[in-house]
Amino acid sequence: MAEPGGSKRIMRPGDEAPAGTPGTDEVVCPECEGAGELIGKPCIACNGTGMVNRRPENRESA
């Protein structure tokens, strides 16, 4: 694929870990849709971050 421009990457600030990184299962909050807040009040589902850690099950070796 040819990239016109050369040094121009499509990356968002803060997006260091690409989607699908093991351990970083973060998805956009379904409640606020990534807004971090609802109408008139902060989103409690994502704690105002706009992202939620989606984990199907607790698979951590404690």
Q: How far is the CB of 47 from Zn ion (least distance, A)?
A: 8
At 41 the three-state DSSP class reads: strand
Q: Measured from the CB atom, is 26 or 31 closer to Zn ion?
A: 31
Cα–Cα distances (Å) from 17 to 20, 23, 33, 58, in that order, read 8, 10, 20, 21
Q: How far is the CB of 1 from Zn ion (least distance, A)?
A: 35
Interface ranges with Zn ion (CB under 5 A): 29, 31-32, 43, 45-46
Q: How far is the CB of 43 from Zn ion (least distance, A)?
A: 3
**Cβ–Cβ < 8 Å for 38, 32:** yes
